[in-house]
Amino acid sequence: VTRCAYVNGRYVPHADAAVHIEDRGYQFADGVYEVIALRRGRLLDEEAHMARLDRSLAELEIAPAMSHAALGLVMRELVRRNRLGDGNLYLQMTRGVAPRDHGFPAGVETSLVLTARRAKPQPQALVEQGVAVVTMPDIRWGRCDIKSIALLPNVLGKQAARAAGAYEAWLVDRDGHVTEGTSSNAWIVTAAGRLVTRKTGNDILAGVTRRSLIALLGEQGLALEERPFTVAEAKAAREALLTSTTSAVLAVTRIDGAKVGGGRPGKLFGALRRIYLDYADGAGASG
C-alpha cells in the first residue's frame, strides 16, 4: 500500500503531503501535537490523549480543528488506509496559515496533520539490558505541560544523548532535580522499594503512559511518591525507569556512565513492564 497522510481535510500520499510555508507551525512552532500508540490497529489510551490535546489547545487559545468524534473517524481511517497493526500515529494542530506576524491572526482555520507508521518491535536488548541516560540542564520554557511542537531543547538534548551513546537525556532543573526526559517521563525506585516520579505541573508533560501506569499501580496496591528527585538520588536508587508512548516502560541502568541497581534491570521494572504491556495489548486500546 502507498503510505498515506491526512492534511487539512485530505488523505494524500505521504510523499506528497505538504503544508503552506506560512503555516504558523513552520514559522513560529505555534502548535501542539500528540503521539498515540497503535496496538493491533487500535488506539492506545485514546481518551487520555484527546483530553491532553484539548488542554494544550485551550492553553494556547487554538480552536480544535474538529470534534473528537470526527477526529476519531479520521484517525481510524488513516490507520485503515495504511493497513497498520502495531505503530504510532502522529497528530499535529497549528494555529493555521497567515501572513507572518507574531500576534494571533484573525479568521484562520486550525491546521491539522496526521501521519502514521508501523513500529518495529522494540529491540530485546533495550528491554533486557536497560538503557543509558545522560543528564543535562533543563533549558526549556515555563510551560512544559503544554505538548507544544516547539521542541528545540528536546532535540538538542536527545542529540547530545546519542552523541554520548545514551538512549535518553534526563533534564535537570536549577535545584538539581530531574524534571523528565526529552521525550519520556523519569522514575526511580528507592532503597526502601518505593516508586518515585515527579508530580505533574508546569515543568513536565503529564505523560499518558505515566498516567496509565499510575492507575495500574493503584490496582496492584503499589505505593507511589509523586515528588522531585535529584540526580544523586537517582544514581543511588535501586532501580530507575522511563516511560513514553514510543518506549512503553524501559529500565534505566546507567546515569552519566554510573551503574544503577548494579547495571541490570530490576524486579519492579520487570513487573511494571509486564503489567503495562498486558494493559496496552488488552483493555487500554480502543477499536
Nearest one of 230, 209, 227 to 272, comparing CA atoms? 209
The least distance separating ligand PDD from the CB of residue 192, rounded to whole angstroms, comes to 26
Distance, C-alpha 243 to centroid of its chain: 8
Residue 172 phi/psi, 5-degree rounding, is -120, 130
Characterize the bridge pairing of strands 131-137 and 87-94: unpaired
Rounded Cα–Cα distance for residues 131 and 4 (Å): 33
Q: Which three cell numbers stand for residue 176?
A: 538539581
Amino acid at 280: A
**Catalytic-labelled residue, pool 120, 147, 199, 267:** 147
x/- map, 13-42, ligand PDD, by CB under 6 A: ----------------------x-------
Residue 135 is a binding residue for ligand PDD (CB under 6 A): no
Grid-cell match 543535562, residue found: 136
Q: Does 115 bind ligand PDD (CB under 6 A)?
A: no
Q: Quote the least distance from Cβ 138 to ligand PDD, whole Å.
A: 10
Q: Give the nearer residue to ligand PDD in terms of CB position, either 35 or 236.
A: 35
The site string for ligand PDD over 195-224 (x = CB under 6 A, - otherwise) reads ----------x-xxxx--------------
Residues in 55-114 that interact with ligand PDD by CB under 6 A: none
What CA–CA distance (Å, rounded) separates 230 from 234? Answer: 6
What is the closest distance, in whole angstroms, from the C-beta atom of residue 246 to ligand PDD in the complex? 5
147 an active-site residue? yes
Query: What is the total count of residues that contact ligand PDD (CB under 6 A)?
Result: 15
Cell (9 digits) for 183: 521525550
Burial (CB count within 10 angstroms: exposed 0-12, middle 13-18, buried 19+), residue 253: buried
Largest CA distance in the chain: 58
Q: Which is nearer to ligand PDD, 88 or 110 (CB)?
A: 88
Which backbone phi and psi does 269 adopt, to 5 degrees? -55, -50
Site string for ligand PDD, 154-183 (x = CB under 6 A): x-------------------------x--x
Classified as helix, coil or strand, 278 is helix
Tell me if 245 contacts ligand PDD by CB under 6 A: yes
Using CB under 6 A, pick the residue from 189, 244, 265, 269 that binds ligand PDD.
244
How many whole angstroms separate alpha carbon 272 and alpha carbon 210? 11
Q: Smaller CB distance to ligand PDD: residue 180 or 239?
A: 180
- 45 or 97: CB nearest ligand PDD: 45
* Amino acid (one-letter) located at 132: A
Minimum CB separation of residue 5 from ligand PDD in Å reads 17
CA–CA separation, 222 and 216 (whole Å): 9
What minimum distance in Å lies between the beta carbon of 185 and ligand PDD?
A: 5
User: Catalytic amino acids?
Assistant: 147
Return residues touching ligand PDD (CB under 6 A). 35, 154, 180, 183-185, 205, 207-210, 243-246
